[in-house]
Structure 1
Amino acid sequence: MQVRNCLVSAPGKAILHGEHAVVHGKAALAVSLNLRTYLRLNATFNGKVCINLPNMDTFLCWDLSELKQLVTCSGEKKEEGQRLDAEFVKRLRDFLGATDGSLNSSNTAILAFLYIYLSLFGSGELPSLTVTVWSELPPGAGLGSSAAYSVCLAAALLCASGTITSPLKEWEHTARWCQEDLELINSWAFQGELMIHGNPSGVDNAVGTWGGMLRFLAGKIIPLSRVPLLRILLTNTKVPRSTKVLVARVKDRINKFPSIMIPVLDSVDAISCTCEKVLTDMTCEPITGEHYNILEELIDINQHHLNVMGVGNPALDTLCRVTLAKGLHSKLTGAGGGGCGITLLRPETDSLIVQSTVQDLRDCSFDCWETSIGGPGVQQHSLVSVKEEVLEVLNSY
């Protein structure tokens, strides 16, 4: 089977408001992060399937005959809505040498690739191809790097299999799929996330698929049609943390002080709803300084609430203090206890202020980037639409 070459990308994600409260039935706002993962799929004629993950220093090739032996005997094509085929997953894990049940992040990424590739192509002739993935997202920082990877895999392999058609016209530099195709991409990306994380919420892959902003409430994910593109600083404190431990800490505090903590959760819910309304207003009317004033106040209030929940950290306190000294407002994003924070930048924020703030944060041993939130979800690209440094990496393998 011959496939067509394609180049796709998907964004990372950040939680704007609602961390931890969402676990207790409150609304959370997740936004796309304009740090992206890129995947290039090239058809080959060497009888091999190769995957290159330079971020993970992982480069693997298999003969098609090896992979064909992994396909289920029935040869039936799996549907994206079905649960993971446990027997098939076991066969793939054994193939990768994870007989003790443990896989590192590199192997789980390979597992997701093989699962989607063989599920989509296993009922017929396996195509020879090379997939190269490179990401601007730091791994393990709660920024949806694995979901962006899974979304890229799903989009590229669905296109390669002919299940969905390429949306890119000859004269276009970037293009997006129709709603029906995006739903299919999201379903397969969730399969990839299941392979990598075991029990994902589905929020990260939904953000990677649709982009913009999503409201997550009581297990329901609702994409919001229009949101403004907001400039931010993204800071990684590089302080490791356990999401599981932090979620348990918040739960313990709620059980211990329900009369104190339940109103805090209600307040966080109101922050999410108020923020959503402000952002919607910003797409329907002229943007004013008052819009940004409200967004900054909501950031400050929510950060205080997160500290009350017990998920703050001295490094995050430092981030807030350093940025506030420059007149900027910050909060943690994700689980807290370290990890990452976001800082809102106004349109009129002077570039020298931004540069000095970034340098001050780097002097604290943090990683810091200027980027934006609210951008597009998964896209197909022409070669001329991708940044030169990204193309250089993708063309190296």
Structure 2
Amino acid sequence: MLPEVLLVSAPGKVILHGEHAVVHGKVALAVALNLRTFLRLQLHSHGKVNLNLPNIGIRRTWDVTSLQQLDTSFLEQGDVTVPTPEQMEKLKEVAGLTKDCANHELLAVLAFVYLYLSICRKQRTLPSLDITVWSELPAGAGLGSSGAYSVCLAAALLTACGVIANPLKDGEPVSRWTSEDLELINKWAFHGEKVIHGNPSGVDNAVSTWGGALRYQEGRITPLKRPPALKILLTNTKVPRSTKALVSSVRSRLLKFPEIVTPLLASMSAISLECERVLGEMAAAPALEHYLVLEELIDMNQHHLNALGVGHASLDRLCQVTRAHGLHSKLTGGGGGGCGITLLRTDLEQPQVEAAKQALENCGFDCWETSIGALGVSVHSATSLDAPVQQALDSL
């Protein structure tokens, strides 16, 4: 039986190495970011389905009886990789969404309605429930916020409908599902991501499901042996960018200078593989020497990314500021602004870290001290959440 309240969380992600090179068949390493999305699900008998997404100002309510009477046979998509435009329009109609809805609202609500109806439609009656999703992840920053959202929804709905068992035992603060159940969560979350993004790679939901680190190459996703939770500074330059345009610019540079850019991409792939090797060693016995190698790899990759033309003055400033404090940084994701990561060695004193954070904030950047290699999707007891998270959920 479900507890009175089901609490689920899932991490965001950052690309550690291999951004842009991965588009051209090279290796990328993605790691779970310990900024998390939290979901609270409560079953009711009030005949309503309530969705509350306070980060983006959404509250939606549907009548269960009305949803029960809808023809949802169109949700039987089989192996279709992307919902067709016709299916998306039907889903909007089912969700009661109008064309004047803001795009972020439309997609978040559509993903929920799709997963709720698809997962729960085989129940004798659709469940009445309240769902609140609150996130530490900024939306649209390339940190996998939609992947974490989809994973939380899939895990909670599959558990609420009894498709998978709740793994949390009495007295446990946190627990995880079996590997088989995680595979199912990941599958459904990927479908949710398709509703939001059309044709995603599957990396974001995979990292959010499994946690730790994974290698991605030409559609193949391979979880790595869990590395230690490396401490980082995550910095958002708040400079908007178009990943699509940046990917296109790299492709153009490759076509224009193939003998220059092809070796760059191969070198970036080699950086990813070397980082994977070092992380494997650190899983057994992390040492300061490992951190020094990781810093060298960060510097080399950042120079390669600048050579590809995806740097930005804001990211140069980020690297300069952290270098002045003895730290090493690189962009993460598409580049052209967006976010960067800074490795924090184990020998750093906290005043040194605080000084670097203050200097970055003085540049107008947002900065978080967090970690990578975090735990994947998990279920929590009501008393196990950190006080700020619990207060945020209780206030909604």
TM-score (norm: length of structure 1): 0.95
1:217 CA drift (Å): 0.7
2: CA distance between counterparts of 1:186 and 1:300?
33
Q: Partner of 1:322 in structure 2?
A: 321
Q: Partner of 1:311 in structure 2?
A: 310
Query: Is the 1:72–1:88 contact (alpha carbons within 8 Å) kept by the matching residues of 2?
Result: no
1: CA distance between counterparts of 2:82 and 2:70?
15
Q: Partner of 1:253 in structure 2?
A: 253
1:225 CA drift (Å): 2.3
Select between 170-179 and 79-88 the one with higher mean Cα deviation. 79-88
1:388 CA drift (Å): 1.6
Q: Partner of 1:192 in structure 2?
A: 192
Query: Is the 1:227–1:279 contact (alpha carbons within 8 Å) kept by the matching residues of 2?
Result: yes
1:99 CA drift (Å): 6.2
Q: Partner of 1:109 in structure 2?
A: 108
1: CA distance between counterparts of 2:38 and 2:96?
28
1:261 CA drift (Å): 0.5
Look up the equivalent residue of 2:287 and give its one-letter code: T
Q: Are 2:187 and 1:166 aligned?
A: no
Q: Partner of 1:222 in structure 2?
A: 222
Query: Is the 1:174–1:379 contact (alpha carbons within 8 Å) kept by the matching residues of 2?
Result: yes
Look up the equivalent residue of 1:153 and give its one-letter code: L
Q: CA distance change for structure 1 residues 225 and 78 in 2, over 3 Å: closer, same or farther?
A: farther
1:198 CA drift (Å): 0.7
Identity, in percent, stands at 58
Q: 1:314-369 CA deviation, whole Å, 9 max, x = no partner?
A: 00000000000000000000000000000000011110011111111111110000
Query: Is the 1:215–1:221 contact (alpha carbons within 8 Å) kept by the matching residues of 2?
Result: yes
1:84 CA drift (Å): 5.4
Q: Partner of 1:339 in structure 2?
A: 338
2: CA distance between counterparts of 1:88 and 1:25?
31
Look up the equivalent residue of 1:271 and give its one-letter code: I
Q: Partner of 2:16 in structure 1?
A: 16
Q: CA distance change for structure 1 residues 113 and 390 in 2, over 3 Å: closer, same or farther?
A: same
- Count of paired positions: 394
Partner of 2:334: helix, strand, or coil? coil
Query: Is the 1:49–1:63 contact (alpha carbons within 8 Å) kept by the matching residues of 2?
Result: yes
Q: Partner of 1:65 in structure 2?
A: 65
Partner of 2:322: helix, strand, or coil? helix
Query: Is the 2:230–2:343 contact (alpha carbons within 8 Å) kept by the matching residues of 1?
Result: yes
2: CA distance between counterparts of 1:383 and 1:338?
38
Q: 1:267-314 CA deviation, whole Å, 9 max, x = no partner?
A: 0011000000011011223x2221111100000000000000000000
1:150 CA drift (Å): 0.2
Q: Which runs of 5+ in 2 are unaligned?
A: none
2: CA distance between counterparts of 1:4 and 1:158?
16
2: CA distance between counterparts of 1:259 and 1:161?
55
Q: CA distance change for structure 1 residues 118 and 218 in 2, over 3 Å: closer, same or farther?
A: same
2: CA distance between counterparts of 1:194 and 1:58?
21
Partner of 2:374: helix, strand, or coil? coil
Q: CA distance change for structure 1 residues 311 and 73 in 2, over 3 Å: closer, same or farther?
A: closer
Select between 276-285 and 32-41 the one with higher mean Cα deviation. 276-285
1:63 CA drift (Å): 1.0
1: CA distance between counterparts of 2:73 and 2:206?
32
Q: 1:20-71 CA deviation, whole Å, 9 max, x = no partner?
A: 0000010000000000000000011211000000001111111112222334
2: CA distance between counterparts of 1:383 and 1:71?
37
Q: Partner of 1:156 in structure 2?
A: 156
Partner of 2:251: helix, strand, or coil? helix
2: CA distance between counterparts of 1:147 and 1:382?
23
Partner of 2:119: helix, strand, or coil? helix
Q: CA distance change for structure 1 residues 211 and 380 in 2, over 3 Å: closer, same or farther?
A: same
Q: CA distance change for structure 1 residues 67 and 170 in 2, over 3 Å: closer, same or farther?
A: same
Select between 120-129 and 38-47 the one with higher mean Cα deviation. 120-129
1:94 CA drift (Å): 2.4
Look up the equivalent residue of 2:258 and give its one-letter code: P
Query: Is the 1:80–1:191 contact (alpha carbons within 8 Å) kept by the matching residues of 2?
Result: no
Q: Which runs of 5+ in 1 are unaligned?
A: none
1:5 CA drift (Å): 3.2
Look up the equivalent residue of 1:37 and give its one-letter code: T
Look up the equivalent residue of 2:294 and give its one-letter code: L
2: CA distance between counterparts of 1:160 and 1:97?
24
Q: Partner of 1:377 in structure 2?
A: 376
Q: CA distance change for structure 1 residues 243 and 265 in 2, over 3 Å: closer, same or farther?
A: same
Q: How does 1:39-50 map to 2 (within 5 A)?
A: 39-50=39-50
Q: Partner of 2:89 in structure 1?
A: 90
Q: CA RMSD in A?
A: 1.9
Query: Is the 2:5–2:382 contact (alpha carbons within 8 Å) kept by the matching residues of 1?
Result: no
Partner of 1:167: helix, strand, or coil? coil
Look up the equivalent residue of 1:35 and give its one-letter code: L
TM-score (norm: length of structure 2): 0.95
1:390 CA drift (Å): 1.3
Look up the equivalent residue of 1:298 and give its one-letter code: L
Look up the equivalent residue of 2:311 and give its one-letter code: G
Q: Partner of 1:5 in structure 2?
A: 5
Partner of 2:92: helix, strand, or coil? helix
Q: Partner of 1:29 in structure 2?
A: 29
1:145 CA drift (Å): 0.2
Query: Is the 1:112–1:192 contact (alpha carbons within 8 Å) kept by the matching residues of 2?
Result: yes
Q: Partner of 1:291 in structure 2?
A: 290
Select between 89-98 and 345-354 the one with higher mean Cα deviation. 89-98
Q: CA distance change for structure 1 residues 83 and 24 in 2, over 3 Å: closer, same or farther?
A: closer
1:392 CA drift (Å): 2.0
1:73 CA drift (Å): 5.1
